[in-house]
């Protein structure tokens, strides 16, 4: 049964006589705030009344067809082939595994990572390392589990994973612990004592993430109806702006074709 996963977020509450309304349905599951920040900025700038719902992809696209939402945000894995013509890719998220530089491990399999985070008290010897316990770190998600858990396809309850509020806290711990394995969103500027490992032989570089070669990358699309509103078209254009690209970087995501610097 499809269900609403987040409460309605109303923006620009003072604009009671707003000429434009924009209803966004987000099915990406993103933990970032870039979309919220852009919506707030446009609502204030143009006097729009903007609402954002979170809903699963199938229900969101049904609402789009029924005229009950103006724009749907969806991950590539949930985008039906027949919807590509009406969609625009606006970002690519990625999740990375990070180790301390004193750990000689530099590459892991995607299946190994899923196993390590899915079992209690894994040891480095499972992936060719020492007999020491792996000290697993992650960042807390809004549902009190951890960010990027879904892409690992975990089915068992969490056991022995130290969940922190921010990546910065995790980095501080990882810099001083050779047995750490941190799982989190992409970062191009890791502390010098830390290194992101390759997954299935593919490094989490910007080019590999954008191309989809990196296994734990997630492309995000905006889908419009057959006759989009002026506000929806404006919002779509702003998803390709340099300002939004910076917001995405703050979330650990890569923008698709941002404006060239002026």
Per-residue pLDDT of the chain (262 residues; tens, 9 = 90+): 333 333 334 444 434 444 689 999 999 999 899 999 999 999 999 899 999 999 999 999 999 999 999 999 999 999 999 998 899 999 999 999 999 999 999 999 999 999 999 999 999 999 999 999 999 999 999 877 899 998 998 876 678 999 999 999 999 999 999 999 999 999 988 999 999 999 999 999 999 999 999 999 999 999 999 999 999 999 999 999 999 999 999 999 999 854 433 3
Q: How many CB atoms lie within 10 A of CB 262?
A: 4
Q: Which pLDDT score, from 0 to 100, does residue 157 have?
A: 66
Angle at alpha carbon of residue 223, lines to 219 and 229, rounded to 5°: 145
Going 154 to 135 to 92 to 229, the CA torsion angle's sign is positive
Chain length of the chain: 262
Closest CA to 99 of 164, 173, 179, 166: 179
Q: How many CB atoms lie within 10 A of CB 195?
A: 16
Tell me the whole-structure pTM to 2 decimals.
Answer: 0.85
> What Cα–Cα distance (Å) separates residue 19 from each residue in 22, 66, 71, 158, 225?
10, 22, 18, 47, 20
Q: Rounded to an integer, what distance in angstroms lies between the CA atom of residue 248 and that of residue 258? A: 11
Label the pairing between strands 135-139 and 217-223. unpaired
Q: Which pLDDT score, from 0 to 100, does residue 159 have?
A: 80
111: left (phi over 0), alpha (psi -120 to 50) or beta: alpha
Q: Residues 179, 185, 187, 193: what is their CA dihedral angle, to the nearest 10 degrees?
A: -10
Closest CA to 15 of 44, 53, 36: 44
Cβ proximity of 224 and 71 under 8 Å: yes
Residue 93 forms beta bridges with which residues?
218, 253
Task: Write the burial class of residue 140 (CB in 10 Å: 0-12 exposed, 13-18 middle, 19+ buried).
Answer: middle
Q: Which pLDDT score, from 0 to 100, does residue 20 have?
A: 86
Q: Of all helices (H) and strands (E), which one includes residue 144?
A: none
Q: Rounded to an integer, what distance in angstroms lies between the CA atom of residue 135 and that of residue 178? A: 9
Q: Rounded to an integer, what distance in angstroms lies between the CA atom of residue 132 and that of residue 143? A: 30
Q: Of all helices (H) and strands (E), which one includes residue 31?
A: none
């Amino acid at each position: 049964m499809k269900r609403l996963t987040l409460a309605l977020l109303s923006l620009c509450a003072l604009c009671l006589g707003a000429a434009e309304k924009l209803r966004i349905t987000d099915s990406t599951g993103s933990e970032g705030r870039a979309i919220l920040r852009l919506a707030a900025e446009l609502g204030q700038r143009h006097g729009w009344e903007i609402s954002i719902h979170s809903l699963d992809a199938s229900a969101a696209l049904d609402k789009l067809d029924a005229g009950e939402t103006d724009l749907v945000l969806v991950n590539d894995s949930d985008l039906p082939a027949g919807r590509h013509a009406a969609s625009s890719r606006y970002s690519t998220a990625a999740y990375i595994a990070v180790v301390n530089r004193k750990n000689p491990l530099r590459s892991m399999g995607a299946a190994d990572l899923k196993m390590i985070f899915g079992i209690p008290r894994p040891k480095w010897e499972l992936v060719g390392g020492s007999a020491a316990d792996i000290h697993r770190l992650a960042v807390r998600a809004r549902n009190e589990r951890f960010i990027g858990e879904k892409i690992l396809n975990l089915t068992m309850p969490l056991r022995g994973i130290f969940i922190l509020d921010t990546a910065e806290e995790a980095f501080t711990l990882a810099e001083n612990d050779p047995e750490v394995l941190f799982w989190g969103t992409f970062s191009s500027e890791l502390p010098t004592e830390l290194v992101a490992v390759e997954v299935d032989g593919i490094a989490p570089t910007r080019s590999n993430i954008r191309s989809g070669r990196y296994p734990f990358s997630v492309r995000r699309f905006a889908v419009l109806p057959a006759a989009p509103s002026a506000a929806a078209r404006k919002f779509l254009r702003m998803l390709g702006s340099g300002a939004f690209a910076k917001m995405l970087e703050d979330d650990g995501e890569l923008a698709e074709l941002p404006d060239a610097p002026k």
